Amino acid sequence: MRKNVLLVLGASSDIGMSVAKKFAQEGFDIQLAGRNSYNLENHCTDLGIRYKVNANFYELDALDFNSHEKFVRSLPILPNVVVSCIGLLGDQSESELKIKKNVTVIRTNFEGVVSLFSIFANYFIDRGNGTLIGISSVAGDRGRASNYIYGSAKAGLNAFLSGLRNRLFSYGVNVLTVKPGYVTTKMTSGLKLPKALTTNPEKVAYCIYKAYKNKKDVLYVLPIWKFIMIFIILIPESIFKKMQL
């Protein structure tokens, strides 16, 4: 039997690497896509040695939309599972000053993923199976002063994934939205994260694999985040706007 294949978009991220490792451990062949080829080629070698799977690197720029169709066609095997770890946190204070940077945050987190997932969705419909996994964020559940640029892009992504799930369900294609909460990664290094609300990339990867196996729709990696976000969503706007969150 041919091995299942996982494609990681934005593979140089810590979550991306951990997901690749977890799936490789479960016997998947791995395709890593992203910028920063030096790192990723070594990662492929590492995955090959560690888990005795085939792992290859493919160059991808999430913001170069015109190249996406070509990128997907260039893959030697259409993957069974695609996970997008494309993400850019940006710096909110900087974002307020530099509108151009805001646009990059939005385009990376939202448009990049939309473009790639839309292409894969069509291929998966043709094949009649497949799973799309989007790493989104709890920040997308409600816009807050501290990071609403990133948050709004993730909110868009949440809506997109939800709609895509709705559309693809009848074709046998699954879509999983992942909201990790705080994770100790390169993206959050330098931030002081509260311990009880923070998890690590390995845990995220483990939960993603489990959710994939169980064909879940939305995954909060730490259940406590689900309650926090429900609470935050329930606060009336007239009060919410006065809070410094």
Partner 1 sequence: MFLKKNNFSSTEEITGWGLYPRFNVLKKNPKNIDELTEAAKTPSLIARGNGRSYGDSSINKVNTIDMKNFNRFLHFDESEGLLVAEAGVLLKDVIDTFLPRGWFPSVTPGTKYVTIGGMVAANVHGKNHKNSGSFGNYVHWIEIINIDGEIVRCSRNENSDLFFWTLGGMGLTGIILNVAFFLKSVKTAWIKETTLVAKNISEAFRFFEDNLNSPYSVAWIDCYTKGKSLGRSLVMLGEHAKINEIDFKNKSNPLKSPKKRRISIPFYFPPFILTKFNVRIFNFFYFLNGRIGRRTKLVEWDTFFYPLDKISNWNKIYGKKGFAQFQCVIPLTNSKKAITELLNCISNSKSFSFLAVLKRFGTETSYFSFPMEGYSLALDFPINSNNLLLMKVLDEITVKYGGRFYLAKDSRIKKNIFEKSDNRISEFRKYRQNKIQKKFSSIQSDRLNL
Which residues would be at the binding site for partner 1 (CB under 8 A)? 12, 36, 38-39, 42-43, 45-46, 49-50, 91-93, 144, 146-147, 182, 186, 189-194, 245
- At closest approach, how far in Å is the CB of 116 from partner 1? 23
Q: Is the Cβ of residue 120 or residue 225 nearer to partner 1 in the bound state?
A: 225
Minimum CB separation of residue 51 from partner 1 in Å reads 8
Eight-class DSSP state of 4: P
Q: What gap in Å lies between CA 200 and CA 185, rounded to an integer?
A: 7
**Closest approach of partner 1 to the CB of residue 69, in Å:** 29
Smallest gap from Cβ 233 to partner 1, in A, equals 15
The backbone torsions φ and ψ at residue 188, rounded to the nearest 5 degrees and listed phi first, read -105, 10
Residue 200, both tokens = 């690590």
Among residues 59 and 126, whose Cβ is nearest to partner 1? 59
Q: Which is nearer to partner 1, 93 or 214 (CB)?
A: 93
CB of 172 to partner 1, least distance (A): 34
Q: Is 121 within 8 Å of 168 (Cβ atoms)?
A: yes
Which residue, 107 or 142, is less far from partner 1 as judged by CB?
142
Are 187 and 164 contacting, i.e. CB atoms less than 8 angstroms apart?
no
* 77 vs 232 by CB, closer to partner 1: 232
Number of H helices, E strands in the chain: 10, 9
Question: CA torsion angle for 99, 100, 104, 106 (degrees, to 10)?
Answer: 30
74 vs 84: CA distance, rounded Å:
18
Q: Which is nearer to partner 1, 144 or 226 (CB)?
A: 144
Tell me how far, at minimum, the Cβ of 244 lies from partner 1, in Å.
Answer: 9
Closest CA to 82 of 51, 50, 122, 37: 122
What is the rounded CA–CA span in Å between residue 133 and residue 22?
A: 14
Return the sign of the alpha-carbon dihedral for residues 216, 56, 108, 228. Answer: positive
